[in-house]
């Protein structure tokens, strides 16, 4: 992956507001998300050599970058699988927002 979201600016040293996890936990989550994205579009490598250390970015940044990739692939899947535009808009809009709200309530 070449796009790590660096256009959002310098990655902060302190992650106020973010979940507290060790680098090992972040790396494991990044791997899970990468594999999920791969299932939706098998043109991604299953394993990137040296990730996350090879590129010099933190494991937490890889979680965000791979999650963005997964979200994009899921949205594309909605667009290409819906029988019509209205059903696709419902899945990508109200249904998605309802699921996110439920997940936020749990955490």
Report how far residue 47's alpha carbon sits from residue 44's, in angstroms, rounded to the nearest whole number. Answer: 9
From first to last of its 107 residues, the chain has per-residue pLDDT tens of 555 655 555 656 666 667 888 989 988 998 899 888 888 876 776 566 667 667 777 888 888 888 988 999 999 999 999 999 999 999 999 999 999 999 999 98
Cis, bond preceding 39 (omega within 30 deg of 0): no
The answer as to whether 7 is a domain residue is no
Measured CA angle at 102 (ends 98, 103), to 5 deg: 120
For 17-31, what is each residue's pLDDT tens digit? 678 889 899 889 988
Number of neighbours of residue 106 by Cβ within 10 angstroms: 5
Tell me how many domains the chain contains.
1
The answer as to whether 15 is a domain residue is no
The answer as to whether 34 is a domain residue is yes
Count the residues in the chain: 107
């Amino acid at each position: 992956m070449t796009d790590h979201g660096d256009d959002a600016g310098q990655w902060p040293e302190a992650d106020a507001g973010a979940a507290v996890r060790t680098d090992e936990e972040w790396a494991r989550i990044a791997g899970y998300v990468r594999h999920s994205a791969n299932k939706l579009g098998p043109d991604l490598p299953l394993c990137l050599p040296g990730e996350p250390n090879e590129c010099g970015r933190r494991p937490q940044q890889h979680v965000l970058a791979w999650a963005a990739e997964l979200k994009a692939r899921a949205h594309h899947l909605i667009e290409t699988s819906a029988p019509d535009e209205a059903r696709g808009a419902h899945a990508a809009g109200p249904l998605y927002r309802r699921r996110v709200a439920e997940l936020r309530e749990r955490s």
